Amino acid sequence: MIKNIIKVGIADSGTVSPPDTIRTSGLGSCVGVILYDSRSQKAGLLHVMLPDSSLARSGEINPAKFADTGIPHLIEQLNLPPSRLKAKIAGGAQMFQFAGQKDTMRIGPRNVDAVKEALSQFKIKIVSEDTGGSSGRTIEFDPVTTSLHIRTVNVGEKVI
C-alpha cells in the first residue's frame, strides 16, 4: 500500500485513515489539534488560528479558523461520537517577544486555552500536548500508532 501524507493548511482541517498520515506545517501561535479514535483508526487534524469566532468581523466564517467552531466542525467531519475521541494538541507558541504586549500579541496562549475549553465541552480527553514556548512546529500524526511527531527548528524533534 502506498502511504500518503495528507497536508492540512492554515485555518483548515482534514481527516485521515491508515496507511496515510496527516500533517500540518509551520504552526506558530496557531494550534494543531488531533482528534482520533484508536478503534476505527480514524483521525482528524485541525489548524486553529484564532480562539473565538466572536472575533470575526465578516459575515461568513470559515469554521476551521477558530477554536470554538473548529472542534465541532472536525467532529462532524470525522462522523464519530465525541465519546470515542481522544485529543493531542501542539502549538500556541509566542513567536516574538515584545514589551507591553497587547492581547493580540498573546494569541498563542489564548488559542491553547480556547482549544482546551472547546474540547472539555465535548468531554474529549487530551492525552498529550506540546504547547507554548517560542518555536514553530511541524506536526504529523499516524492513526495506526496514534503517535504525534513534532519537529521544530530550534529545539529538535519529539514524539507525543
Partner 1 sequence: MSYEDDITAYHLDILREIGNIGAGNAATALSALLGNKVDMAVPHVKVVSFDEMMDIAGGPENIVVSVFLRIEGEMTGSMFFILSTTQAESFIRTLTNNKSFNFDDIGESELGLSALQEMGNILSGSYLSSLSDFTNLNLYPTVPAIAIDMAGAIISFGLVELSQAGDKVIVIDTELTDDGEKREGANGQFFLLPDPESFKILFRSLGVD
Nearer to partner 1, 95 or 159 (CB): 95
* Identity of the residue, 28 or 44, whose beta carbon is nearer to partner 1 in the bound complex: 28
Select from 24, 17, 15 the least CA-distant residue to 1. 17
Task: State the burial class of residue 29 (Cβ atoms within 10 Å of its Cβ: 0-12, 13-18, 19+).
Answer: buried
Does the footprint of partner 1 cover residue 13 (CB under 8 A)?
no
Rounded distance between C-alpha atoms, residue 78 and residue 54, angstroms? 25
> Distance (Å, rounded) from C-alpha 10 to C-alpha 38?
26
Instruction: Tell me which residues in 117-146 interact with partner 1 (CB under 8 A).
Output: 134-138
- Please tell me whether residue 104 binds partner 1 under the rule CB under 8 A: yes
Residue 47, strand partner residues: 32
Q: Characterize 130-153 residue by residue with b for buried, 16 or more Cβ atoms within 10 angstroms of its Cβ, and e for exposed.
A: bbebebbbbbbbbbeebebbbbbe
Phi, psi at residue 20, to the nearest 5°?
-75, 160
Among 28, 32, 92, 143, binds partner 1 (CB under 8 A): 28
Looking at the Cβ atoms of 37 and 69, the one nearer to partner 1 is: 69
Answer for which of 4, 5, 9, 40 binds partner 1 (CB under 8 A) is 9
Which of 30, 33, 67, 112 is an active site residue? 30
Among 58, 79, 123, 156, binds partner 1 (CB under 8 A): 58
Least separation in angstroms between CB 131 and partner 1 = 13
Q: Which of 6, 22, 27, 124 binds partner 1 (CB under 8 A)?
A: 27
Q: How far apart are CA 141 and CA 111, in angstroms?
A: 20
> Is 30 a known active-site residue?
yes
Binding-site ranges for partner 1 (CB under 8 A)? 9-12, 25-30, 49-50, 55-59, 62, 65, 93, 95-99, 104, 107, 134-138, 153-154
Catalytic residues: 30
